[in-house]
Amino acid sequence: MASINLIDSFQEFKDAENIDRPTLMKVIEDVFKTLLRKKYTSDENFDVIVNDQTGDLEIFRRREIVEDELIEDENLQIPYSEAVMIEPDYNVGEEVYEEVDVMDFGRRAILAAKQTLAARIGDLKKNQLLKKYAERVGEIISGEVYQIWKKEILLLDDEGNELILPKSEQIPTDFFKKGEAVRAVVKKVEMRNNTPIIILSRTHPSFLEKLLEIEVPEIMDGLIVIKKIVREPGERAKVAVESYDDRIDPVGACVGMKGSRIHGIVRELRNENIDIINYTNNTQLLIQRSLTPARINRMDVNSTTNHADVYLEPDQVSLAIGKKGVNIKLAQELTGYSIDVYRDVKQDLEYDIDLDEFSDEIESWVIDEFKRVGCDTALSVLELSIEELVRRTDLEEETVRDVRRILEAEFQSEQ
């Protein structure tokens, strides 16, 4: 029997064990069919058989028996005189099966087959890795730091596959050492120069989402739903959650007893402040909650322009804006509204100013229009919402906003 055990003979394919055997055997079969086409111009009358248990390969050629003088194609036909030497009982019209010795292809062809097989298996492994991680996008994985560069870190997973954590996807205060275990979320998978690149992230909102799923069983069970997450990595994050069970407090469940559930996540995110808020369809209430930890006195919301003017005590304004404007920025991302914050002058001032005092800044016909609806002082105008003033007067919304800004600026300068 002329056979060749490819798995044992081709030592470089030992590392192909991660590829399922049927796929590997199919690749081997295809490679040798290519050899057959080169040697015999066609592989149609050849059977390539690979034992998926042992890796043994056998090749058989089928030829039809014809009269000696009628031979037209020696690859497809065999003379009757030659056939009876193989088996005396053969008759014209029958098929003869002959085993082809792999070594007949020659040393150079076998070497080429090994190289082709190596390339095909390499491509299979790349595609398998690409598919594996494409299915895990959005999942948390752990890797060991293998190499640290200026713009990125190279990690290795449990199987030795290379993962990339770019500097832009790291929390600003992240600091890693070689050999350290790092958790991150799979952000995307792409092919570069025929090489699969797995990009990880520790700044993406999905990283915080998956951490919450791990720490809060109610989220994993579907009793609590994360509606939206916005982050300024390393600084602050806001998470809107909603419970589908009236008996469960979504905020309390996420924070845990004495903060037991949230503390581990905060440490993982390098002490990033995490505000858990109860989601609501009430826009004003959602804006109010999103500006935590600031306390709001009142607000004017314009749902048409998705804009909100928020009024707070003087000592609450800085809390609403936050360090480097992070808090108000995240509140705007969470609610989808542009938010302007103002000191609530009405709360602090006992005096009032007649509208006529602003005649050099506000046109007289505008002042007359306010007086027509009973608003003859600055505070009487500020006490009403923008929507209410537009409804009562014949003024455009932009005009009303301009007037309010002038009045508020006056009170702030007086303070």
d(CA 53, CA 41): 30
Cα→Cα distances 387→216, 303, 304, 335, 405, Å: 42, 10, 11, 20, 15
The two structure tokens encoding residue 246: 């009236």
Q: Give the Cα separation of 128 and 140 in Å (integer).
A: 19
Distance CA 163, CA 199 (A): 6
Strand (E) or helix (H) holding 343 = strand 338-343
- Write the CA distances from 406 to 321, 358, 382, integer angstroms: 22, 9, 11
For the domain covering 4-131, report its CATH number: 3.30.1480
Which superfamily does CATH assign the domain made up of 137-203 to?
Nucleic acid-binding proteins (2.40.50.140)
Measured distance CA(185)–CA(136) in Å, rounded: 9
User: In order along the chain (415 residues), what is the average pLDDT of each group of 10 residues?
Assistant: 43 51 72 78 76 68 80 78 80 80 72 76 83 92 95 93 95 94 95 90 96 94 95 95 91 92 94 94 94 90 91 86 92 95 66 83 89 81 84 87 88 66
Query: What is the pLDDT, as a whole number, of residue 87?
Result: 79
Q: DSSP state, 393?
A: S
Alpha carbon distances (Å) from 27 to 41, 128, 330: 20, 14, 53
Q: Where are the domains of the chain?
A: 4-131, 137-203, 214-279, 345-414
Q: What pTM value is reported for the model?
A: 0.66
Cβ atoms within 10 Å, residue 172: 11
Buried b (16+ CB within 10 A) or exposed e, 275-313: bbbbbeeebbebbbbbbbebebeebbbbeeeeebbbbbe
Query: In the CATH hierarchy, which fold is given to the domain comprising 214-279?
Result: GMP Synthetase; Chain A, domain 3 (3.30.300)
Residues 199/164, Cβ–Cβ less than 8 Å:
yes
> Contact, 134 vs 26, CB < 8 A?
no
